[in-house]
Structures are given as structure tokens and as C-alpha cells.
Amino acid sequence: MQAVSQRIARAAAAAGRNRDSVRLLAVSKTHPVALVEEALRAGQGAFGENYVQEALEKMDALTRLVGEARAGDVEWHLIGPLQSNKTRLVAERFDWVHTISSVKVARRLSEQRAPDRKPLSVLIQVNSSAEATKSGVALEDASTLARAVAQMAGLKLRGLMAIPEPAPEASVQRARFRPLRELYERLRADGLDLDTLSLGMSDDLEAAIAEGSTMVRVGTAIFGARRRERDAA
């Protein structure tokens, strides 16, 4: 955890930014709850999960481990694709959804978020590299979707998320992040109240921060290889 925080601090300083302008989301998907508890005790408060059922089991297990009051301070982010038949559970239990790519799913979340809870924070997922294997709305359609979601009750549109095609060179990584940053800036200039650009993971967080990312999603560099990858090795 400390090593990742130091990487973020160095990257922010190199970009002339304050360290506090970049949030760390610990990607705990497929990792046991014991590692989540360890990270929580080390000061990490936000965790990203791909699979709804796995996340719900982890939430309940963490509550048993640390108590309801402490577990209630944890922020849970859904970072995997969301099927329409799982929206009610997500609206009830999660704090953030990073993967909004359709009006249909956003509307279901809006309708299913309890009115006495604070709005569900959401990000538009953009498939900026137009990869057939990745979810997300096309770059040219993201503005229309963002404006529609911003009007929905029970939701708070926070910004954009993307997972561009990986590249080994920092200059290429930055070039692939740049269209997202430019879109984010255009939406803000057009009056949308956005504060989150979720870009960058373990292998490219420095390039993402250089291009303006305000949230990096890091799993391997914190928790090590995913459990299923270790089991297959």
C-alpha cells in the first residue's frame, strides 16, 4: 500500500499536481476479505469489485470482521459490467458504479436507489479504443449519455472511466488517455459538475496521472496476483 501511495505522490509531483488530487481505489476483486481487512487497517477506505455477488459476500464478511460501524465507513465501487437484472442489488449496496454505458441501466439504478440515501455516484465508461472485447460507450456517444445520466434522480454523475488498450511506452499510454481527458474537460466546460476521471491501473498509473486522472484503480500492485491467476499458475 505504501509503495503505491509513493508512486502516486511521485507521479503527481512530476505533473505539478497535489498528491491529494488523485484518489486510490484498491481493486480487491477475487482477493479474500482478509486482504481487504488488512488494507482497511492500513488506511485504505475505497475498494473496487467486478462481480456483484462476490462483492456482497465480501461486504458482509468484512462487517463481521471489523464491526458494522467501521465497515460502514468503507466505500464500495462496482468496476465490472453491470447486467440489468443486478441493478437493484447494486443500487441498494454500492456507493459508486464505474461502468454506466446505457440509459437503460442508469435509469434502473435511478429508480431503485432509495430516496432516503445519498445519490449513487456513477461514471460513464468509455470504450475509447473501440475494442470489441471491452464494455463502454463509444467516445463520440459519451457526451449524449453523460447529459442524460446527469438529469436522473438518485444518481450523481461524477465523471468518466476508461480502460484504454495497454501499451508498454509511457508516451503511447498518455496518447491513449488524452482523448478521455479532453472529453472530460469539454463536459465540465459545458456545465456538467464533474470531479472524477478514473484512468490508470498498476502498469500505467504514472501516465494516467500525467494526463489528469483523479482516480487510479490498483489491484496487483497492492494485493499481488489475483487469486484465480495464482490458482492457475
pLDDT one-digit tens code per residue, 35-85? 999 999 999 999 999 999 999 999 999 999 999 999 999 999 999 999 889
In which residue are the cell numbers 476479505 written? 33
pLDDT per residue as tens digits for the range 182-219? 999 999 999 999 999 999 999 999 999 999 999 999 99
Give the angle 7-77-42 at the CA atoms, nearest 5°: 45
Exposed (0-12), middle (13-18) or buried (19+): which is 85, by Cβ within 10 Å? exposed
pLDDT of residue 232: 32
According to DSSP, residue 19 is labeled G
At a CB cut-off of 8 Å and minimum separation 6, what does 223 contact? Answer: 26, 27, 28, 31, 35, 39
Domain ranges of the chain: 2-225
CA distances from 162 to 119, 187, 222 (A): 22, 16, 20
- Check if the beta carbon of residue 177 is closer than 8 Å to that of residue 164: yes
Whose cell is 459490467? That residue is 81
For domain 2-225, the CATH class is alpha beta
The dihedral region occupied by 108, where left means phi > 0, alpha psi between -120 and 50, and beta the remainder, is alpha
Share of the chain above pLDDT 70, in %: 97
> Count of residues for the chain?
233
Give residue 227's pLDDT: 55
DSSP class of residue 85 equals G
Instruction: Place 119 in a pLDDT band, splitting at 50, 70 and 90.
Output: very high
Residue range 173-191, pLDDT digits in tens: 999 999 999 999 999 999 9
Across residues 141-170, what is the average pLDDT?
A: 97
What pLDDT does residue 203 have? 94
